[in-house]
Structure 1
Amino acid sequence: MTYDAKEAWTKDILNMPTLAYPAEYVIRIFKGAYPRLNLDKNFRGRKICDIGCGDGRHIPFLHTCGFDAYGIELTEEIVDRVKENLRPARLPILDVRVGSNDRIPFGDVFFDYLLAWNTCYYLGEHADFAGYVKEYARILKKNGYLILSIPKKTCFIYHGSERIAGGRAIIRNDPFNIRNGEILRIFDDEEEIEEAFSGFFDRFVFASVHDDCFGYDYHWHLVVCQKR
Structure 2
Amino acid sequence: MSFYKQEWETSYKNKDNFVYYPHEEIIRFTSKYIRKRTGQFEFIDRYPHLENHKLLDLGCGIGRHVIYAHQMGLDAYGIDLSETAVQLAIDWAKTEGINSPENKIKQGYTQNLPWENDYFQFAVSHGVLDSMNFSVALQSMEEISRVLVKDGLFYCDLISGDDSSHSREYDGEVEVETAHEKGTIQSYFNFGKIEKLIGRSFEILECALIKREDILTGTFHSRYHIVLRNIK
Which residue of structure 1 lines up, in the alignment, with residue 96 of structure 2? 89
Instruction: State the identity as a percent.
Output: 20
Correspondent of 1:143 among 145, 148, 151: 151
Contact 1:204-1:223 within 8 A present in 2 as well: yes
Q: Aligned in 2, Cα 1:11/1:116: closer, same or farther, shift over 3 Å?
A: same
Matched, 1:220 2:223: yes
Distance 1:108 1:50 in 2: 16
Which residue of structure 2 lines up, in the alignment, with residue 100 of structure 1? 109
Q: Aligned in 2, Cα 1:40/1:206: closer, same or farther, shift over 3 Å?
A: farther
1:194-216 CA-to-partner distances (Å, cap 9, x unmatched) read 34213101143112221125866
TM-score, normalising length from structure 1? 0.79
Mapping for residues 38-49 of structure 1, pairs under 5 Å:
40-42=46-48, 43-49=50-56
TM-score, normalising length from structure 2? 0.77
Mean alpha-carbon deviation: is it higher for 85-94 or for 133-142? 85-94
| Amino acid of the structure 2 residue aligned with 1:133 | M
Aligned-residue offset at 1:26: 1.2
Which residue of structure 2 lines up, in the alignment, with residue 36 of structure 1? none
Matched, 1:110 2:119: yes
1:39-92 CA-to-partner distances (Å, cap 9, x unmatched) read 944544211110100111111211122210000011333211211222211124
- Paired residues in the alignment total 212
Mapping for residues 165-180 of structure 1, pairs under 5 Å:
167-174=171-178, 176-180=179-183
Mean alpha-carbon deviation: is it higher for 98-107 or for 16-25? 16-25
1:91-150 CA-to-partner distances (Å, cap 9, x unmatched) read 2462101122211111111111111111112334x9443222211111111110111111
Specify every segment of 5 or more residues in structure 2 that has no aligned partner in the other structure, as ranges. Answer: 34-44
Correspondent of 2:63 among 56, 63, 71: 56
| Amino acid of the structure 2 residue aligned with 1:75 | S
Which residue of structure 1 lines up, in the alignment, with residue 187 of structure 2? 185
Contact 2:130-2:187 within 8 A present in 1 as well: yes
Give the 3-state SS of the residue equivalent to 1:28 in structure 2.
helix
1:143-187 CA-to-partner distances (Å, cap 9, x unmatched) read 10111111111257xx48xxx9xx54113443x43144x334322
Runs of 4+ residues deviating >4 angstroms:
213-216
Matched, 1:30 2:30: yes
RMSD over equivalenced CA pairs, Å: 3.1
Aligned-residue offset at 1:21: 1.0
| Amino acid of the structure 2 residue aligned with 1:223 | I
Give the 3-state SS of the residue equivalent to 1:58 in structure 2.
helix
Q: Aligned in 2, Cα 1:210/1:133: closer, same or farther, shift over 3 Å?
A: same
| Amino acid of the structure 2 residue aligned with 1:152 | S
Distance 2:100 2:51 in 1: 13
Aligned-residue offset at 1:218: 4.2
Which residue of structure 1 lines up, in the alignment, with residue 37 of structure 2? none
Q: Aligned in 2, Cα 1:155/1:32: closer, same or farther, shift over 3 Å?
A: farther
Contact 1:194-1:204 within 8 A present in 2 as well: no
Distance 2:100 2:221 in 1: 33
Distance 2:73 2:4 in 1: 32
Q: Aligned in 2, Cα 1:116/1:155: closer, same or farther, shift over 3 Å?
A: farther
1:1-50 CA-to-partner distances (Å, cap 9, x unmatched) read xx8732232233234396521112111221258xxxxx944544211110
| Amino acid of the structure 1 residue aligned with 2:188 | I
Distance 2:181 2:121 in 1: 31
